[in-house]
């Protein structure tokens, strides 16, 4: 029979309080800040060099210690150190103790939803809520006697997740290299006759490819609480994430507020034109029709492709490093985080004029995008399975 027992977290794990006044003299090379920890990942992929950055951190961690982000714990940042170093004071350094629970299981207990919920509930502070070790130590949970079986299961899943994330990184790097080569003319593709494209490229403004349509202005009392046949869904800048549009927290507006040209159609590009954060201004995503009516808010704009260019090719122009560079120049010359339609339309790109070459480039990059989507979906599925097993194992 698989029985469970109640365990207090402070009985299986303790806070490590090692410090250093001179990390370089004490032999430390690397440091970890919260920015180096990824949400929901036990693996540390990034770190800083002490000698280069001279951080003010004094907290010491050793290889194998657990680094737990106590500030904004809703971000769910905790990872296993793979080297010795120093870290931010917003990180709690932990190590397993005793023989109640297998030491290798402790990081997975920390990754469980009930543990994160507890960390969030015990956090205090309005702008940057922080939890404390003394509170985390009081957390209690149930654990099965079949710890060896659970550990093998979690380790197998972790290896699969790490491998999948490495594959995702490689695929994203492949896309980056392809874009650098294909969108600059450094590498020319073959046409349908098997001959390499050899016609000249031209420098053209984006206005040659797209027309700008500003988003819809509305008042708070215009918002509809329920969707009807005559209502329209509205994307805001928060709905543009990682080059995609999502349906989270959409605004619903009456259709009479939206002009016909402001309704999104397939392959329109939605761009954030204004935001409190300069890093978000200019981010873009291509719209794919799903049968519902959508528009964009006044802080966004629609850039509608014309008919004599490949519409998928334009998507990759908005994702290119050249677009980012020109965007930075525009925003650097402004004290407010706001773009005009002409700022985007006047951007110039070195591009192929022939539709067939645009089509070939877009096809290759779209195939890589599809590979990335498949890997992301696999990772999401694995994470959901892992989350459910963690929930039932350490509830």
DSSP 224-286: -SS--TTEEEEE-GGGEETTEE--TT-EEEEGGGS-GGGS--TT-EEEE-B-SSGGGTT-EEE
Per DSSP, what are the bridge partners of residue 48?
A: 31
305 neighbors 267 (Cβ within 8 angstroms) = yes
Rounded Cα gap, residues 77 and 68, in angstroms = 6
Provide the pLDDT for residue 366: 96
For each of the chain's 395 residues, which pLDDT tens digit applies? 457 789 999 999 999 999 999 999 999 999 999 999 999 999 999 999 999 999 999 999 999 999 999 999 999 999 999 999 999 999 999 999 999 999 999 999 999 999 999 999 999 988 889 999 999 999 999 988 889 999 999 999 999 999 999 999 999 999 999 999 999 999 988 888 888 888 889 999 999 999 999 999 999 999 999 999 999 999 999 999 989 999 989 999 999 999 999 999 999 999 999 988 888 899 999 999 988 999 999 999 999 998 778 899 999 999 999 999 999 999 987 667 889 999 999 999 999 989 999 999 999 999 999 999 999 999 999 999 999 999 888 87
What's the confidence (pLDDT) of residue 2? 59
Give CA–CA dist 103/88, Å, rounded: 24
With residues binned 3-state (H G I as helix, E B as strand, rest as coil), the percentages for the chain, rounded to 5, are: 40, 25, 35
pLDDT value of residue 335:
65
Q: For residue 304, what pLDDT is reported?
A: 96
Q: Which residues pair with 241 in a beta bridge?
A: 244
What pLDDT does residue 144 have?
83
CB atoms within 10 A of CB 122: 18
Among candidate residues 215, 278, 212, 224, the one with its CA nearest the CA of residue 251: 224
Q: What is the pLDDT of residue 279?
A: 82
């Amino acid at each position: 029979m698989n029985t469970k027992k109640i365990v207090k977290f402070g009985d299986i794990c303790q806070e490590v309080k090692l410090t250093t006044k001179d990390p370089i003299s004490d032999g430390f090379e690397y440091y970890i800040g919260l920015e180096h920890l990824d949400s929901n990942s036990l693996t540390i992929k990034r770190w800083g060099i002490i000698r280069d950055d001279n951080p003010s951190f004094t907290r010491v961690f050793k290889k194998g210690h657990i680094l737990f982000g106590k500030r904004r714990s809703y971000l769910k940042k905790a990872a296993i150190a793979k080297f010795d170093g120093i870290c931010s004071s917003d990180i709690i350094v932990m190590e397993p103790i005793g023989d109640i629970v297998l030491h290798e299981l402790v990081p997975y207990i920390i990754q469980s939803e009930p543990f994160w919920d507890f960390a969030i509930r015990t956090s205090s502070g309005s702008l940057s809520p922080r939890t404390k070790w003394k509170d985390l130590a009081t957390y209690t949970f149930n654990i099965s006697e079949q710890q060896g079986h659970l550990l093998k299961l979690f380790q197998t899943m972790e290896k699969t997740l790490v491998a999948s994330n490495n594959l995702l990184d490689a695929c994203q790097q492949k896309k980056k290299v392809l874009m650098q080569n294909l969108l600059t003319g450094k590498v020319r593709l073959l046409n349908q006759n098997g001959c390499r494209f050899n016609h000249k490229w031209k420098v053209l403004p984006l206005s040659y490819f797209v027309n700008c349509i500003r988003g819809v202005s509305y008042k708070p009392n215009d918002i509809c609480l329920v969707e009807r046949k005559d209502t329209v869904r509205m994307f805001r800048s928060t709905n543009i994430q990682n080059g995609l549009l999502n349906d989270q927290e959409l605004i619903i507006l009456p259709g009479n507020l939206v002009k016909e040209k402001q309704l999104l159609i397939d392959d329109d590009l939605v761009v954030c034109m204004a935001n409190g954060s300069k890093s978000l201004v200019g981010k873009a995503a291509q719209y794919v029709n799903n049968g519902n009516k959508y528009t964009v808010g006044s802080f966004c704009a629609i850039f509608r492709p014309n008919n004599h260019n490949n519409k998928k090719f334009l998507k990759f122009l908005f994702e290119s490093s050249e677009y980012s560079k020109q965007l930075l120049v525009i925003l650097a010359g402004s004290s407010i985080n706001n773009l005009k339609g002409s700022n985007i339309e006047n951007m110039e790109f070195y591009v192929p004029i022939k539709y067939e070459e645009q089509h070939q480039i877009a096809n290759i990059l779209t195939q890589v995008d599809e590979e990335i989507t498949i890997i992301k979906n696999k990772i999401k599925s694995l994470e959901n399975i892992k989350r459910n097993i963690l929930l039932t194992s350490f509830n």
